[in-house]
Structure 1
Amino acid sequence: MTFLLAVTDFSTGEGVYPASMAVALARRLGYDCVASWDQGLHGWPRLREEALAAGLTPLLASRFTWRGMDFGALPHTDRGYAELCRLLTDQAHGREGDPPRDCVLLAETLEGQEYLTREGFAPYLLAHARNQVEAMAGAARGLPAAAPQVLRFRREAGLELHRLKRAMALRSTVARVEPLWEARDAAVTRASWETRFPGADPAITRATEGILEKARAWRMHWGDWVMPRPVCARDLDLDAELQSRLRQGIPKRYAAPPPGLEARIELELELIRRKRFAGYFLAVHDIIREARATRTCGRGSGAASIVSYLLGITNVDPIATNLMFERFLSDARVDPPDLDVDFAWDERDEVIASVFRRYGRERVAMVSNHVYFKPKGALRDVALAHGRPEAELKVLARFIRGWDEGMKGIQDNPAWAPILAQAEALRGHFHQLSVHPGGTVIAPGALWHHVPFQPAPAKEGVSITQWDKDGVEDYGLVKIDLLGNRSLAVVRDALGVLGDRAPAPLHWNPRLDPATQDLLARGDSMGVFYVESPATRQLQQRVGKGDFETLVIHSSLIRPAANRWIDTYVKRNRGEETYVPSHPVLGSLLSDSFGVLVYQEDVVRVGMAMAGWSHEEADKLRKILGKDDCSVKLPLFEARFREGCAGRGIPPAVVDEVWDMVRTFRGYSFCKPHSASYAQVSFESAWLKAHHPATFFAAVITNQGGFYAPIAYLGDARRHNLVVRGPDANQSEWAFAAEGDRGLRVGLMAVKGAQRDEVEALLEDRGRRGPYGSLEELLERVPLSVPTAEALGSGGAFDRWAPDGDRTRLLWTRLGGIPEGVRPRPTDPFDRAALELELLGLTLEIHPAALQRARHGGAPHRAADVARPGHQLRFWALVVAEKTVRTEKGDLMQFVTFEDETALCEAVAFPDAYRKRRRPFRVGDILPVAGKSVRQDGLVVLEVA
């Protein structure tokens, strides 16, 4: 009996089949065992999952190159698996490594077999189609051979795809590349194999059967959790240490401990003891303490834990906020704990570096992302492999709309038909590895006991696992997400500037501040973390409430498929629709949200309360809703849900209503602890905007920390009565900065063409020796290059020494020659605005829309006029946000946010208006807008003509 060695698309530049296709082919060819046969174990978790789903036995194996020869290994013990992972890890890091013991070793050539034999190993020669005669000759000399079938391709189309991938990997063309395989390497059926070898050499058959028996007998670790351990854990009672740290955390969190605190602590600690999770919590706590980060935001389901809160991992009190601990941990839940911690974006890399230093590079890796071909990348790479010129590809890229939306303008061109067909054949194929935004695994010992890891692309000193998030978690490695967040830096920097004016953290609760609540209720939240998108601002305006609980609901309720239920929620909240629960269960579970499912926990709760499911069963539905294959598996859950509800006598109409809400959780949704954690940061951001707007806007723009471009934030700053002042060599820092309560100074970072190292040298000198009395003095003290001096001069940083505004003459005199491209400071304010837009990407005095209106006219209205419904309007505006969507009929339409000096306004271009335009609205466009202001869903918006 034989088995199949499958080369998949994870063999970059070789494999032509994704795991699902390889497994399907294995079944069709008659095999009941399939092994991975890629260079590395990147694709193993996916092949394993597909094989088990198809009823096949998956076998772990990997190819590797050693001393210029090709081999493969099938582990048959835990030690053999660890040694294979170690070899793959060593080789990925540029070390030779040693062939693994406790593995069946297969040599691709007789020469390789003889070499390994001399080195003390007992390899088999892989008797595939290409070296069958060689294998039998070796067997005659006493060298063992085995003949598992190798699946590289099945038909001629597969060989052509292999040739294409080879060309893409080598950055060559199909016409020039030499393929690794030949037509005779095509896979054969199991029946064909069984007629090929038994009569020729029974020893080959017996060897193959023996390998299969050995490999099948080993049970690989899979699904048992591998917990990190803190560095100090050698002789430490982890549970006692965790309890001690919690006690230290109580006075830091509570002036007076609330009722129920001790009971909640003991409940969680007992569960943590039973599941042996103490080391995990201590490791995360150590990471945060070691990082010494100024601000963090623990989020995700872990924010439901009082242990996390008292350790300082999270910042929202789960008792006061009524967070569901079972969403994070329970006896029934089979998933490991998952703690996500955000750090300021510019501190995150150092946090990760400190983890590698503390635990050692053999124990730590970040998680990889498996990146699959996207339409533009696929078409580009295929076209280049066929020798098409770069200029042609840039033109064609405009026609690509996505895998499902087609590549319009290309299909009808016969010359492009074969290239398009091959590009579409790459759909679903693995392309390359990237680095997960923050997922990090820490093993209790050497990580290669569990998974191979390799250097991260373009990230010095960091390794990544060969498996992605799903593979790592399915195996049992517990991932810690260490993520970067720009808004934490905004809050950090703004509070740092305020100094003594900032409130003391223990007594500061921005949620209770009336001015902050009023700002959020108005939807005046541009720049405010997590709640500044047009959809969220509009929802805030429609409901008109700015309290914490409402903000938590709103930040979870905004989901792509939830529009109908958002409208229902708004009407019930405003009292426009009487809310009577359609079933008592909904009344008890969803009273705060007026019967609308908001959080992931709501899905779990209705599954338990209405269908009679256990927590574990209901949580499976919650997880399925977030998976890529949701559309395949969801109907099975719907049938079970309806059956369970029917058994409990719940009317079909109620079941229909609830299931319609459940479907809105497809794609992405949030748990309440996650939204509550982010809402805490939202309130801190909103407090700063309400009380210290200049400091707030300076921090937002400097950290690039928001939904909008800097020019849009400057417009909002002006609407809040701030004065924007230009760059100045004696006043500006690198960053944007507040000047008093109402001034906002542009940072030198905005000056295009100025080299940062030179500017920082200028700032260091100014800080050490004082301001500059003249440009001559500046240039004597700081050796600026001509390009940097010209850029600063053009941007206005030297205007204090050119009272007549003649920047050209100023620099000409000081630099000893004609400065190229330096123009005088215009006297006309509109000309100044045009130059500022060109040189700084922003305007200081005049809004870009006002500039265009003055130049071109023809727009009698302003964005503020949209607030009065029923009028036909024409005005100039800057596009600051847009979102293109499809209607239920498949037509394209667009939601747009316009801005001028008077207001922001929301607009919609329905399909007819969208089709009339030459191209969609794009962020940064400054253009005339026409349409009618109408009242829609309680708000006034512009319907674009």
Structure 2
Amino acid sequence: LRELKPDKFDDLIAMNALYRPGPMAYIPDYIDRKHGKKQVEYDLPDMEEHLKETYGITVYQEQVMLLSQKLAGFSKGDADVLRKAMGKKQISVLNKMKVQFIEGATLKGHPKDKLEKIWTDWEAFAQYAFNKSHSTCYAFVAYQTAYLKAHYPSEYMAAVLNHAGGIEKITFFMEECKRMSLTVLGPDINESQNGFAVNKKGEIRFGFSGLKGVGENAIEHIIEERTKHGFYSSIYDLAKRVNTRAANKKSLESLIYSGAFDCFPEIIRAQYFHQAPGDMQGLEKILKFGNVFQLQNATTSNTLFGDLQMPDIVPPKLSPCEPWPLAVQLDYEKEVTGMYMSGHPLDNFKFEMRHYNISALADYNEFKLAISTHANPARQFRLAGLVVDCQHRLTKTGKKFGILTIEDYSGKTEFMLWSEDYVKYTAYLEKGLIILVEGGFMTRYNSETYEFKLSKVHLLDTVKPALTKQVVLEIQSQHINNKFINFIETNIKTNPGKTSLKFNVVDVRNNFRVGMYTMEKGFTMNDDMAVFLLGNPDVEVSVVTA
């Protein structure tokens, strides 16, 4: 659509009709003809009247109906029969109508060879023929939603997330929010609504209804109490005010796992579940405190001494403990929200994801879906992700095979491991591993369909030392200082190896560039170097890999 640069509503209608398996192959031609890069041609001059709006490409069923009437003298009834036969792929009916079309058009003086070509094109068209009125409706909805996305991006994306359905769709749209520079925040006890909602800063806040283990009664009670009496000032304030029969222990555990209580910084997530020797669990203490407070309030208000000031109940102190490791925290988040909220397991591999020619899984999946439309379907890919599912199975003949599913920031995909691949890569069929997959698409045996064939699999944390042939650093001369020089010198001496390090020093004032290598024979690419380069925006990094 960006390549098309639509400037009229008709363009949206046509693209809706074309953007499906089959007609997608005509999209490049449509775009080139619209922008004058290719000449618009018609098999017969009489076809221009009905094909001009789509630059000579037959896109809609209605165009075939109108052309059959104009070229061959079909009645409106015959044209409708032709439309139905195309839509339902009724071969016998189409064969009869071909004779009628050729005879009728020949009588009107059209050359038979051209008519044969037109009919052949129409037969191919029958595989994907689309109704223009339907496409118009879809295009109108697309225009409306595009307007909302452009002018009310946060509100629109919050609505999309609320209606996304499955977690994969939600993950996809969360990535779209990132691309749009929209902030999506995790659950918050003082700000979250039932579903995704937009706060006063224009940020999208994750809703309570997306949390596993938090029931509707708990959500309604928490929001209603907050609306009536204001924000919760602490976890103890919440325990005093919220009915624990509605928001029970399981609900509170899910809220903790999701980070909804992180707005109370005096208590870290691990403390709620920590139990010191001879003591109660932190969350149990809080629930007991809340129950005692609410019972005292209820008892006092129902006695003759209702106005009597009762002594305050002192909130319990939670035993200190170490915070959870990030990996544990992320696992809990995904368990209750379906996604990682405060980070991602791939966050420790930002250098690799950025510099090692790794494609996003969403891009890979999109390529795979429309592989037949690409000029180079036998493309090679390098992919990386967290192993989220793995299965060991047997074929009907008793042979072992595996299914490996990985997930990155953009989505997930699965790979089939047959025979030799299963034996070779079975060690990587383990949940929690973070791996790099290399391979490419190739045609199946005796088939025109494509499958992805693995060529290599690595643990992602071995990629820097194993695959880095050369690191090229481009830096302007004014940004080179002692700190930069000292770090580079120390690092390459501490990590000797075979990777070459090249500098392209740019002098902007005098408009020249000097390329140079280090005096050392080489070094081994390492985590310290990666962290240093990621944190130095003045250095442009490129990596040559094996």
Q: In which range does the TM-score fall when normalised by the shorter chain?
A: 0.5 to 0.7
Per-residue deviation, 1:717: 0.8
**2:55 partner SS:** coil
Is 1:677 matched up with 2:137? yes
Q: Does the Cα contact within 8 Å between 1:734 and 1:747 map onto a contact in 2?
A: yes
Matches within 5 A, 1:188-267: none
Per-residue deviation, 1:745: 0.6
- For residue 273 of structure 2, the aligned residue among 808, 812, 815 is 808
Which residue in the other structure is 1:596 paired with? 57
Change (3 A) 1:680 1:610: same
Q: Does the Cα contact within 8 Å between 1:599 and 1:670 map onto a contact in 2?
A: yes
Is 1:711 matched up with 2:171? yes
Change (3 A) 1:835 1:550: same
Matches within 5 A, 1:837-852: 837-846=334-343, 848=344, 851-852=345-346
Per-residue deviation, 1:903: 9.7
Matches within 5 A, 1:89-238: none
Change (3 A) 1:898 1:763: farther
Per-residue deviation, 1:625: 1.9
Is 1:722 matched up with 2:219? no
Change (3 A) 1:943 1:880: closer
Per-residue deviation, 1:815: 2.8
Per-residue deviation, 1:637: 2.6
Q: 2:381 & 2:36 partners in 1: Cα distance?
A: 29
Per-residue deviation, 1:833: 3.8
**2:263 partner SS:** helix
Q: 2:102 & 2:434 partners in 1: Cα distance?
A: 52
Give the alignment's TM-score, normalised by structure 2. Answer: 0.57
- For residue 621 of structure 1, the aligned residue among 73, 76, 82 is 82
Per-residue deviation, 1:581: 2.2
Deviations 1:389-409 (A, max 9, x none): xxxxxxxxxxxxxxxxxxxxx
Deviations 1:136-157 (A, max 9, x none): xxxxxxxxxxxxxxxxxxxxxx
Q: 1:544 & 1:679 partners in 2: Cα distance?
A: 15
Using the aligned pairs only, state the percent identity. 26
Per-residue deviation, 1:695: 1.2
Which residue in the other structure is 2:198 paired with? 738
Q: 1:669 & 1:897 partners in 2: Cα distance?
A: 36
Change (3 A) 1:886 1:570: closer
- For residue 873 of structure 1, the aligned residue among 336, 340, 357 is 357
Q: 2:3 & 2:284 partners in 1: Cα distance?
A: 57
Q: 2:379 & 2:250 partners in 1: Cα distance?
A: 42
Is 1:571 matched up with 2:32? yes
Deviations 1:611-664 (A, max 9, x none): 21011111111112222x524433333333233222323234433443344234
Change (3 A) 1:844 1:896: farther
- For residue 793 of structure 1, the aligned residue among 249, 256, 264 is 256
Is 1:551 matched up with 2:33? no
Which residue in the other structure is 2:544 paired with? none
Q: Does the Cα contact within 8 Å between 2:175 and 2:410 map onto a contact in 1?
A: no
Per-residue deviation, 1:595: 0.7
- For residue 694 of structure 1, the aligned residue among 139, 154, 157 is 154
Matches within 5 A, 1:430-829: 540-545=1-6, 547-627=8-88, 630-666=90-126, 669-704=129-164, 709-779=169-239, 780-782=241-243, 783=245, 784-806=247-269, 807-809=272-274, 810-816=282-288
Q: Does the Cα contact within 8 Å between 1:603 and 1:622 map onto a contact in 2?
A: yes
Change (3 A) 1:660 1:741: farther
- Aligned-residue RMSD, C-alpha: 4.5
Q: Does the Cα contact within 8 Å between 2:359 and 2:382 map onto a contact in 1?
A: no
Per-residue deviation, 1:931: 6.3
Is 1:854 matched up with 2:326? no
Q: 1:656 & 1:861 partners in 2: Cα distance?
A: 53
**2:3 partner SS:** helix
Per-residue deviation, 1:715: 1.3
Q: Does the Cα contact within 8 Å between 1:873 and 1:931 map onto a contact in 2?
A: no
Report the count of equivalent residues: 367
**1:928 partner SS:** strand
Per-residue deviation, 1:884: 5.1
Per-residue deviation, 1:930: 3.9
Per-residue deviation, 1:879: 7.2
Q: What one-letter code is carried by the residue in structure 1 that aligns with 2:268?
A: G
Per-residue deviation, 1:564: 4.0
Q: 1:619 & 1:896 partners in 2: Cα distance?
A: 47
Q: 1:624 & 1:772 partners in 2: Cα distance?
A: 65
Q: 1:701 & 1:825 partners in 2: Cα distance?
A: 35
Q: Does the Cα contact within 8 Å between 1:724 and 1:844 map onto a contact in 2?
A: no
Which residue in the other structure is 2:436 paired with? 928
Q: 2:61 & 2:215 partners in 1: Cα distance?
A: 48
Per-residue deviation, 1:801: 2.9
Q: Does the Cα contact within 8 Å between 1:852 and 1:876 map onto a contact in 2?
A: no
Q: 2:218 & 2:454 partners in 1: Cα distance?
A: 47
Deviations 1:576-620 (A, max 9, x none): 321132211221111121111112211211111122101111111
Which residue in the other structure is 1:176 paired with? none
Per-residue deviation, 1:885: 7.5
Per-residue deviation, 1:802: 4.8
Q: What one-letter code is carried by the residue in structure 1 that aligns with 2:283?
A: L
Which residue in the other structure is 2:297 paired with? none
**2:357 partner SS:** strand
Change (3 A) 1:653 1:768: farther
**1:542 partner SS:** coil
Q: Does the Cα contact within 8 Å between 1:795 and 1:836 map onto a contact in 2?
A: yes
Q: Does the Cα contact within 8 Å between 2:360 and 2:383 map onto a contact in 1?
A: no
Gaps of 5+ in 1: 1-539, 818-823, 866-871, 920-924, 934-941
Per-residue deviation, 1:741: 5.0
Change (3 A) 1:741 1:589: farther
Q: 1:756 & 1:664 partners in 2: Cα distance?
A: 52
Q: 2:384 & 2:229 partners in 1: Cα distance?
A: 43
Q: What one-letter code is carried by the residue in structure 2 that aligns with 1:726?
A: G
Q: What one-letter code is carried by the residue in structure 2 that aligns with 1:560?
A: P
Which residue in the other structure is 1:359 paired with? none
Q: What one-letter code is carried by the residue in structure 2 that aligns with 1:764?
A: E
Deviations 1:233-273 (A, max 9, x none): xxxxxxxxxxxxxxxxxxxxxxxxxxxxxxxxxxxxxxxxx
Comparing 704-713 with 834-843, which one deviates more in the overlay? Answer: 704-713
**1:801 partner SS:** coil
Q: Does the Cα contact within 8 Å between 1:694 and 1:743 map onto a contact in 2?
A: yes
Q: 1:842 & 1:595 partners in 2: Cα distance?
A: 47
Per-residue deviation, 1:877: 4.2
Per-residue deviation, 1:665: 4.3
Q: What one-letter code is carried by the residue in structure 2 that aligns with 1:860?
A: E
Q: 2:118 & 2:70 partners in 1: Cα distance?
A: 12
**2:126 partner SS:** coil
- For residue 333 of structure 2, the aligned residue among 821, 836, 839 is 836
Per-residue deviation, 1:772: 2.3
Gaps of 5+ in 2: 275-281, 290-320, 386-406, 427-432, 442-451, 456-546
Q: What one-letter code is carried by the residue in structure 2 that aligns with 1:814?
A: I
Give the alignment's TM-score, normalised by structure 1. Answer: 0.34
Per-residue deviation, 1:569: 2.0
Q: 1:547 & 1:565 partners in 2: Cα distance?
A: 19
